[in-house]
Structure 1
């Protein structure tokens, strides 16, 4: 359901023009959405352990379908936009976030886990960016409601797919995880009984444990800066910034689609490398490269598409979500079987950073009249994240 995470930036200008809402108010809704996108993740992981992937994911998708309708037709003020798009959609998307991929890889793979993580992460990114050209065309032919309703329709389709085809675990269908050479269960479901403990208590206990671990704080701060320089910047502010330079929304969305396509190659490659190279080295290189690309962006913007912007889109796309597989590898190294919940709490900080940058970017744009300082701030944050990533080699 990656398309929901990019719609906020796409409809910002139309909402300002059509409803007269401030960028700060809209940015607040996007910020709440992003924070909940992360905050719900560890609880969702525990719910998936307790009630199953299929039930939890289906409930989240049904919520997204309902919220797309509420946002489109029951938004008399920016308060209601914050309620529906910020809170409710944030909960729905947060329930099927990166933790979903962590649980799937933990259950379904015993070898090539990094590569599997990269593939699943890349799939989510394709949904975030590849649908943008379609959504921008729909926006041009309708109004701000068009992309939101389209996101709801995609959620409805995904809900049908999940109900028909998603299994909770390999054991539930009588097979074994990839790379497991033991004897498969004779009766499907014999080794996939759900946990009986309280999922919320288990999630909070995992947080308490993580907060006492210095390694967790390094990962959390690094991932907060990661979220600020990806979700908080590109998903929320790239399209409005491009519009400030005279670029049409469809062209800006096409650039984001290029980022999404490059993400597939970059994230899969990062997953493959995570099985072979020290995660700390990968994180340092990825963050430094991202920082250089963000620092160069203000000088590349123009009214039309040109080769330098395409090069930026490819480079940034290669590095955009490439940090996820090595970070998840570190979580597995530090926390073993509890890595999904630990990664869920690390993801909370990712979205706190994203929400902070989404809100701060709107405020800076409204005060300064330009996004230049936003990109500079993002580049600086990447340098700090690279130093934190490199420090994990000593953990």
Structure 2
């Protein structure tokens, strides 16, 4: 069995590939509200703030599932939890074309989709990296975090094209088919831990049984949160990640396409800009994972938040200047979009250890999604009030500059032997 752990080809990379595909599809579905906002507003006569409220609930639940997903993944294993999550997501998609009222949209996309995708959020990638890798863990976290960008890269232009030519219901059907396909792949190929196949984690030659989860699924994350709340590093990581949520999926993923529409940029072109952004985020986040294995994560966060803030302050000008200038914004912002995740994961594990670090990172993600949920609703309300998205974009930019300064306040983490 020791030889299995020393093979140049390691099954951990297969698990990474399957997880990447899962997160791509999940992220693609979570990014759909941006291209659904205008068609739903036209068909059902719902305001942008009403639609944004549904998206806000979904984003919030997506984040709240993080720490509890960490418990579920440890207790029941990656494969079982992921299959159940994909099944719930498929159900929410299949039922969506039948909805007629806002509360039904809230049930399917606020509650069900939020819970389902929340079990396949960043914590899933961190758990896979922790179970299967002792070396190159930062790189793996970077690759799996970048899957969110890849989801947009693959899904948004295609789904926007389907909406423009056949209607939003057919785009939902296409997304449901992708979810069902990935569900089959996970059921067949996913494995929970190297021990399941008699192998050692990548970078190790020791085959060992995974530690059994002995806590209570819903109580243990709360106890971990209680302990973490006494640590200033936890609050600084949570605070910076709150502002990260304000400036990413809550704001840009939800409102960039409608904002482009205000300046005459079509949904297909706007979705293409998001996809182009996704290409560079794939590069930037993967590179960030590599950098977090080598450099001070606090300083990396300072630069990431600072540069993101400047790009958001520039965004209103880019929108008024047209698609060519928006391409410049897409490159600059895209490189930085989710680059904050690998250094934040690294700091969480360095400060709290591998076992508790994953769960505590789940709580940090909750802060991220609270910020995202607030931004999703507030930006829609601001658009209804002021008739423009310039105010929320610029405010988010200055918030990121503040987060950059907060990053430098994080104490130099003690380096644990198993980090």
TM category, shorter:
over 0.9
Q: Does 1:312 align with 2:329?
A: yes
Provide the C-alpha distance between the structure 2 equivalents of 1:93 and 1:132, rounded to a whole number of angstroms: 17
**How many residue pairs align between the two structures?**
387
The alpha-carbon deviation at position 148 of structure 1 amounts to 2.5
Which range moves more in the overlay, 5-14 or 142-151? 142-151
Q: Does 1:358 align with 2:376?
A: yes
Question: Paired residue for 1:260?
Answer: 278
Question: Paired residue for 1:44?
Answer: 69
Provide the C-alpha distance between the structure 2 equivalents of 1:304 and 1:225, rounded to a whole number of angstroms: 27
Provide the C-alpha distance between the structure 1 equivalents of 2:164 and 2:75, rounded to a whole number of angstroms: 44
| TM-score relative to the length of structure 1 | 0.95
Question: Paired residue for 1:28?
Answer: 53
Question: Paired residue for 1:157?
Answer: 181
Q: Does 1:392 align with 2:392?
A: no
Q: Does 1:85 align with 2:109?
A: yes
The alpha-carbon deviation at position 384 of structure 1 amounts to 1.2
The alpha-carbon deviation at position 265 of structure 1 amounts to 0.7
Structure 1 unaligned blocks of 5 or more = 186-190
Q: Does 1:330 align with 2:354?
A: no
Provide the C-alpha distance between the structure 2 equivalents of 1:145 and 1:208, rounded to a whole number of angstroms: 44
Provide the C-alpha distance between the structure 2 equivalents of 1:313 and 1:304, rounded to a whole number of angstroms: 12
RMSD value over aligned CA atoms? Answer: 1.4
Provide the C-alpha distance between the structure 1 equivalents of 2:320 and 2:386, rounded to a whole number of angstroms: 19
SS at match of 2:252: helix
| TM-score relative to the length of structure 2 | 0.90
Question: Paired residue for 1:181?
Answer: 205
User: Cα–Cα, structure 1 residues 303 and 151, in superposed 2: closer, same or farther, change >3 Å?
Assistant: farther
**What does residue range 240-251 of structure 1 map to in structure 2 within 5 Å?**
240-251=258-269
**What does residue range 130-279 of structure 1 map to in structure 2 within 5 Å?**
130-182=154-206, 184=207, 191-192=209-210, 194-279=212-297
SS at match of 1:130: helix
The alpha-carbon deviation at position 258 of structure 1 amounts to 0.7
User: 8 Å contact 1:279–1:327 — kept in the other structure?
Assistant: yes
Provide the C-alpha distance between the structure 1 equivalents of 2:245 and 2:175, rounded to a whole number of angstroms: 22
Q: Does 1:13 align with 2:38?
A: yes
The alpha-carbon deviation at position 374 of structure 1 amounts to 1.2
The alpha-carbon deviation at position 83 of structure 1 amounts to 1.2
The alpha-carbon deviation at position 119 of structure 1 amounts to 1.1
**Over residues 331-352 of structure 1, what are the superposed CA-to-partner deviations in whole Å (9 max), with x where a residue is unaligned?**
0111102111000000001000
Question: Paired residue for 2:417?
Answer: none
**What does residue range 54-65 of structure 1 map to in structure 2 within 5 Å?**
54-65=79-90
Q: Does 1:70 align with 2:95?
A: yes
**Over residues 86-130 of structure 1, what are the superposed CA-to-partner deviations in whole Å (9 max), with x where a residue is unaligned?**
111000000000000110111111112111111111123201343
Question: Paired residue for 1:188?
Answer: none
User: 8 Å contact 1:6–1:235 — kept in the other structure?
Assistant: yes
The alpha-carbon deviation at position 380 of structure 1 amounts to 1.0
**What does residue range 118-137 of structure 1 map to in structure 2 within 5 Å?**
118-137=142-161
Provide the C-alpha distance between the structure 2 equivalents of 1:55 and 1:219, rounded to a whole number of angstroms: 30
The alpha-carbon deviation at position 326 of structure 1 amounts to 0.2
The alpha-carbon deviation at position 132 of structure 1 amounts to 0.6
User: 8 Å contact 1:5–1:128 — kept in the other structure?
Assistant: no
The alpha-carbon deviation at position 245 of structure 1 amounts to 0.2
User: 8 Å contact 2:134–2:204 — kept in the other structure?
Assistant: yes
